[in-house]
Amino acid sequence: MQGLMQEWPLLCSKIIDYAARQHPRREIVSRSIEGPIVRTTYAEARSRALKVAQRLERDGYRRGDRIGTLAWNTARHLEAWYGIMGMGGVYHTLNPRLFPDQIAWIMNHAEDKCLFVDLTFVPLVEKIAPKVPSLNKVIILTDAAHMPDTKLPAVPYEEWLAEADGDYEWVDLDEHEAAGMCYTSGTTGDPKGVVYSHRSNVLHALIAVQPDAMGLSSRDTILPVVPMFHANAWGLAQSAPMVGAKMVMPGAKMDGASIYELLDTEKATCSGAVPTVWLMLLQYLEETGKKLPYLKKVVIGGSACPRAMTRKFRDDYDVDVIHAWGMTEMSPLGTLGTMKPEYASLTGEDQLDIKVKQGYPPFGVEMKVTDDEDLERPWDGKTFGRLKVRGPAVSRAYYGGAGKEQFDEAGWFDTGDVAHIDQYGYMQITDRAKDVIKSGGEWISTIDLENLAVGHPDVAEAAVIGVRHARWDERPLLVVVRKAGRNPSKAEILGFMEGKIAKWWMPDDVVFVDDIPHTATGKIQKTTLRDRFKDYQLPTEEAGAA
């Protein structure tokens, strides 16, 4: 027997329609690239998105065409996304922090035809465009008055948009059609294209807003610092309008002072960003003595959120940290560290023991850890294995068929992360499969060591890599960036770590550096570090035996 309910395709256009109808005057506030703070509303954003769709069609773009965006988080970028998706196009976010050749490679792979670009990136596009033959139009997200002098086939967004009247209907699509694309950074091998569908974006937003996930509502003011070009802005460009939350878009400025200004003047209740951004904000707050009276919670992910950061937010600013884990291939949310009743009454350090874990999956994500034979490992909070996931917003393939080995027949996607899961379902990442240190046949988690080291008050940043060792194959080397004006010694740092981890996990040496290299998405670039220290001689060959 069939159900007798309506077909209501899960299309992204329905999200902006809903926001404009139920929350028409809710604001989207942006720090514009030109400088001033500008304000618009969901009603206005929808009517401009309709114009984007209409105007793109008039330029000859059609259903399925990939339209690149190289832009910061602003209302214009958001309108462009909804306009592109509404005419059946596929928004393709490009990460400006990649090398120009990598961006050109990605654009060629996706065959981008048109590009929306912020003023900041015009010089970058001038370098890239000659290498991308499919690209025939560049829309600069500004007005004629601010147009730069360029040889690109470029038009100013505002004037281009003004040529449309917005009398347009969203294209009637199949919910399984592509809505967006994002390439993973490709720290190993070529970047791989993730293709989101309308259905997966809508379901992902529904998953994200759940109370035990991001817990978003129309009473929230959300400041997505995480860029739309980084893993889909963690879905916030869809989940915020889905609940009618006010949005505050930080544009190009993500330093502590700029983020603080927006958090404060717009009274943001919730924000999301990678740990490095929060490090800058916390430093700014420490220097200025300012507080965060409006902010209730921050979602922190992309790389492990250090315990000390969660503690500082909680104890000094009364802000709840929700540690989250995910990846581009998962739209990207995988787990969030909200509290089940089993843990809800914990306080102090006991609470932090749970908050440093990456959390548990909301409805819509299935998860397991397996051994090398693909057998599931127990949920005991210590036995680690390869982390595998499946769900309606998880990739089932990469664009063009790359990386087939990461997908199995039962639909599980191998994340490349190593993790354990505890008795209540809380997952903790212990490493990337390729970063884990294998010492005498046992695994050492580099992330655990890094988290511990950054807890030292004089340490600004820490990275751990495996260094070749005659007897143990590999031993951990701790690389540290000191806080400005502080001068901790190796012995002080090791002394701080002692007793908090198994003895055989203790780094064999500590080196101090001025900076640690980061990937385009703000993660520690372990490959570069390993290269830099590949001939490093550990102090004593017997150190590992201790």
Residues designated catalytic: 184, 329, 438, 443
Ramachandran angles phi, psi of 142, nearest 5°: -160, -170
Tell whether residue 67 is a contact of ligand ADP (CB under 6 A). Answer: no
Nearer CB in complex with ligand ADP: 238/310? 310
Span near ligand ADP by CB under 6 A; candidates 117-125, 300-308, 389-397, 477-485: 300-308
Q: Give ∠ CA 427-430-431 in degrees, rounded to 5.
A: 125
Least CB distance from residue 336 to ligand ADP, whole Å?
A: 10
Indicate the DSSP class of residue 518. Answer: B
Q: How many residues bind ligand ADP (CB under 6 A)?
A: 23
Three-state secondary structure of 405-447:
HHECCCCCEEEEEEEEECCCCCEEEEEECCCCEEECCEEECHH
State whether the Cα torsion 408-410-413-414 is positive or negative.
Answer: negative
> Residue 482 forms beta bridges with which residues?
459
Nearer CB in complex with ligand ADP: 221/338? 338
**Rounded to whole angstroms, how far apart are CA atoms 447 and 452?**
9
Nearer CB in complex with ligand ADP: 258/331? 331
- Terminal CA-CA length for the chain: 68
Span near ligand ADP by CB under 6 A; candidates 8-16, 166-174, 182-190, 204-212: 182-190
Question: Which tokens belong to 201?
Answer: 């974006």
Residues numbered 199-238 forming contacts with ligand ADP, rule: CB under 6 A: 231
Tell whether residue 306 is a contact of ligand ADP (CB under 6 A). Answer: no
Least CB distance from residue 416 to ligand ADP, whole Å?
A: 6
Least CB distance from residue 42 to ligand ADP, whole Å?
A: 28
Span near ligand ADP by CB under 6 A; candidates 256-264, 280-288, 298-306, 480-488: 298-306
Least CB distance from residue 447 to ligand ADP, whole Å?
A: 6
Nearer CB in complex with ligand ADP: 68/86? 68
Nearer CB in complex with ligand ADP: 74/445? 445
Which of 302, 361, 385, 476 contacts ligand ADP by CB under 6 A? 302
What is the H or E stretch that residue 281 is in? helix 275-288
Least CB distance from residue 387 to ligand ADP, whole Å?
A: 8
Nearer CB in complex with ligand ADP: 119/322? 322
Span near ligand ADP by CB under 6 A; candidates 97-105, 295-303, 437-445, 497-505: 295-303
Give residue 52's identity as a one-letter amino acid code.
V
Nearer CB in complex with ligand ADP: 229/533? 229
The label of the residue with tokens 């290269």 reads 531
**Rounded to whole angstroms, how far apart are CA atoms 34 and 142?**
8
Tell whether residue 461 is a contact of ligand ADP (CB under 6 A). Answer: no
Which among 376, 394, 393 has a CA at the least distance from the CA of 385?
A: 376
Question: Which tokens belong to 184?
Answer: 């993973």
Nearer CB in complex with ligand ADP: 141/520? 520
Ramachandran angles phi, psi of 328, nearest 5°: -45, -40
Least CB distance from residue 105 to ligand ADP, whole Å?
A: 15
The label of the residue with tokens 């990939």 reads 66
Contact flags string 313-352 toward ligand ADP, x per CB under 6 A? ----------xxxxxx---x--------------------
CB 393 within 8 A of CB 364: yes
Conformation bin of residue 459: beta by default, left when phi > 0, alpha when psi is -120 to 50: beta
Q: Give ∠ CA 378-382-384 in degrees, rounded to 5.
A: 70
Question: Which tokens belong to 304?
Answer: 């492990």
Per DSSP, the chain holds a count of helices (H) and strands (E) of 16, 24
Tell whether residue 446 is a contact of ligand ADP (CB under 6 A). Answer: no
Indicate the DSSP class of residue 487. Answer: -
How far CA 134 is from CA of 117, 190, 441, in Å, comes to 16, 20, 50
Nearer CB in complex with ligand ADP: 432/482? 432
> Residue 39 forms beta bridges with which residues?
29
Largest CA distance in the chain: 75
Residues numbered 407-436 forming contacts with ligand ADP, rule: CB under 6 A: 415-417, 429, 432
CB 331 within 8 A of CB 200: yes
Least CB distance from residue 501 to ligand ADP, whole Å?
A: 18
User: Could you tell me where the DSSP H helices lie in 66-225?
Assistant: 75-86, 100-110, 122-128, 157-162, 198-209
Tell whether residue 304 is a contact of ligand ADP (CB under 6 A). Answer: yes
Least CB distance from residue 519 to ligand ADP, whole Å?
A: 6
Tell whether residue 303 is a contact of ligand ADP (CB under 6 A). Answer: yes
> Residue 397 CB: number of other CB atoms within 10 A?
16
Span near ligand ADP by CB under 6 A; candidates 6-14, 301-309, 451-459, 468-476: 301-309
Least CB distance from residue 193 to ligand ADP, whole Å?
A: 12
Least CB distance from residue 337 to ligand ADP, whole Å?
A: 9
Which of 30, 142, 184, 197 contacts ligand ADP by CB under 6 A? 184
Say how many residues make up the chain. Answer: 546
Tell whether residue 142 is a contact of ligand ADP (CB under 6 A). Answer: no
Which of 180, 215, 301, 476 contacts ligand ADP by CB under 6 A? 301
Query: Applying CB under 6 A, which residues contact ligand ADP?
Result: 184-185, 187, 231, 301-304, 323-328, 332, 358, 415-417, 429, 432, 521, 523
